[in-house]
Structure 1
Amino acid sequence: MKLVSKSFLASLLFFTASAFAAGQLMTEAELTNIEKQGKSAIISVHADWCSTCKSQDKVFTGLMKDPEYKNVTFYQVEFDTQKDLLKTLKVRSQSTVIVYKNGKEVVRATGDTKEVALSKLARQAI
């Protein structure tokens, strides 16, 4: 039984890691680092079951490839498991996107999936 549990957990971890295609997993330490060092970042609050989040991920995955965003770090916060970080960020729902520039929050939006709108939002980090 323990062998099955370990195998299941390993599969779950692989699936969870692959779900964060649009960015690396955000931590409290990363958030502090952004604020203290004056970095630019885009934080996407994601849930695997959220179709809006999946649509946003596609847009952000494309944006990450653009050299224009070379100084912007993309992060994701897992809505279902990172409740303390959600409280710190004052986020109540998945599909929320928060943009930081020079270590300060400049804009946030929830539920938008249009590529033009998300690109405009993301550009504010540059």
Structure 2
Amino acid sequence: MTYSRRFFVTAALAATVAVGGLGTAWAVETTPYSDAAFKAAQTAGQPILIKIDASWCPTCKAQKPIIDKLAAEPKFKSLKIFRVDFDDMKPVVKAFGAQMQSTLIAFKGATEAGRSVGDTKEASIAALLDKSL
């Protein structure tokens, strides 16, 4: 059986579209932290996750795909995720009372609903996010 150039071009295009579609299905928006955006989300009563992390932190890297997967679930569609850089935003880290990177803090509107440090278990991170709803 021989294949034409058209067949290969069509197959490559279809594969590109399929892979591109998978990427957008898991795309979760994480917003760099700002006081104004955080206060606006609190005022709106949104579920909020403060993610205090560092680019060099292996635990933070392990948390990212778990948080992305959970945040893509329909029940978390209104979850607002703010990233606080542990190294560059020390006053914000201190204001949240965080002692180390890989700290996750859930808010239900203006009220802190729970926090965890160094957690990489999907079930317990899901339970934390549930508290923000």
Q: Same fold (TM over 0.5)?
A: yes
Structure 2, unmatched stretches of 5+, are: 1-27
TM-score, normalisation: structure 1: 0.77
3-state secondary structure, aligned to 2:83: strand
Of the structure 1 ranges 27-36 and 84-93, higher mean CA displacement relative to structure 2 is found in: 27-36
The yes-or-no answer on 1:113 pairing with 2:120 is yes
Q: Could you tell me which residue of structure 1 aligns to residue 11 of structure 2?
A: none
Q: 1:24-43 alignment to 2 at 5 Å?
A: 24-43=31-50
Matched, 1:85 2:97: no
User: Is contact 2:49–2:106 with CA below 8 Å preserved after alignment?
Assistant: yes
Question: Where in structure 1 are there 5+ consecutive unaligned residues?
Answer: 1-20
- Please say if residues 106 and 124 of structure 1, whose CA atoms lie closer than 8 Å, have aligned partners that are also in contact: yes
1:59 to 66, 79, 82: 66
What stretches of structure 1 move > 6 A for 4+ residues in a row?
Answer: none
Give the count of matched residue pairs: 106
TM-superposed CA distance for 1:37, in Å, is: 3.1
In structure 1, the partner of 2:106 is 99
Aligned equivalents of 1:24, 1:102: Cα separation in 2 = 17
RMSD, aligned α-carbons: 1.5
| Equivalence for 2:13 | none
Q: Greater CA radius of gyration, 1 or 2?
A: 2
Aligned-residue identity in percent: 29
